[in-house]
Structure formats: C-alpha cells, structure tokens
Amino acid sequence: AVALKFYFDPTQDERVDREIRALEGFRHPNLANLIDHGRIEIQEKTVRYVAWEFIEGEALDHRLGRGPLAPKLVACVGRDASRAIGHIWKKRIVHRDVSPKNIMVRSGENEAVLIDLGIARHLSETPLTTAGVTWGTIGYMSPEQCRAEKQLTCYSDVFSLGIVLQEALCAQHPTRGDQERILTHPCRTAQIA
C-alpha cells in the first residue's frame, strides 16, 4: 500500500522537485519514505504524483481528539520525531511544519513517523519563499519562523516539537493557538500585592 499525493498546480513544481530530491535515497524508519514519483494524464491534464510508504496508523491531531496521550506514548513520539528531525538536518533541511497533523502514530502506538516535507526549507538551495513571508502552522512555529527569518536551523523544528509534546500530554495547545501574540509581544512583569 502507498500514500499518493497529486499536484495539479504547476507553479509548485520547484517545491515538489526539492521534496523529491530530499527524499530520494534518504530512508529512515521515522520518515515517510519515497517510493515513486512521476507524471500522469488526468482528464487531458498532466498531473504530478508522489507515492510514499503508507503509514499504518493515525495522524496525531486525530488521536488527540480523544484526549491526552499516555506519557510513555508522548516519549515515543518525542523520540521518533526528534530522530526524523535530526536525520533531515544532516541534509540541512528544516521541516518547518512539525505539528500534530504531520506526525503519524503507527498502529500499536509505539512508533511515530514525521510526514510531509512539502514546505521544508532546504538551506543548501535558494529560498522559494518570498522575503518577509513565512510558512508553517499557526501555533507551532518557532519565534524565528514567525519573524520570517531565512536562516532557520533544526532548532526551529525542535521548538515546534516541544509544543506538540506539551499538547499531547494535556490534549490542549499550551497557548490555545494564540502563540503569535505571546511570541511577538513582550512579557509583562507580574505585580505582587
């Protein structure tokens, strides 16, 4: 079984090419591994496709809909997602979207897999994102991502993973999704009466 993704927008070709180049020959048990890619005709239109290893399990965002995870499972998610982050960083790739929707918990709940490198930042290549624009999921971006800094590192992904793990333990986002306000406004000193 495979997971298929179709790309109908030719303006995304360079981003798709980068994702494919990053994953070709790049295998890891905690990443969705590339199986095949190419172009096919659908209703007289040429469409790109990418096929990944099918991950038998459930996306973490769906799993969290049933409540918090057991601490042991949160530890497994942290271990496996951090291994995946470390592995892609060897190629100087920052995922930029480490969030519950991009982490699969394998059936049996003892392993996690990081998926979807579609908006990853490849530091060895010219940026595709317009200056001053950022990509990622609101509520999970690091402060440097929120500031649209170009020279991200794996620390950005580690920051995002920390938010994911806090949410997994509590089944509630640590800032209730209002992360941008907290990151962009200075903290106020509490007044003690």
9, 36, 61, 97: the catalytic one is 97
Please give the distance of CA 166 from its chain centroid, rounded to a whole number: 16
Q: Which residue has the tokens 């990081």?
A: 114
CA distance 136 to 128: 14
- Count, in order, helices (H) and strands (E) of the chain: 6, 8
The yes-or-no answer on residue 13 being catalytic is no
107 three-class SS = coil
Cα four-point dihedral sign 14, 19, 22, 24: negative
Length of the chain (residues): 193
The 3-class SS string of 36-63 reads: EEEEEEECCEEEEEEEEECCCEEEHHHH
- 190 DSSP 8-state letter: P
26 three-class SS = coil
Q: Which residues are catalytic?
A: 97
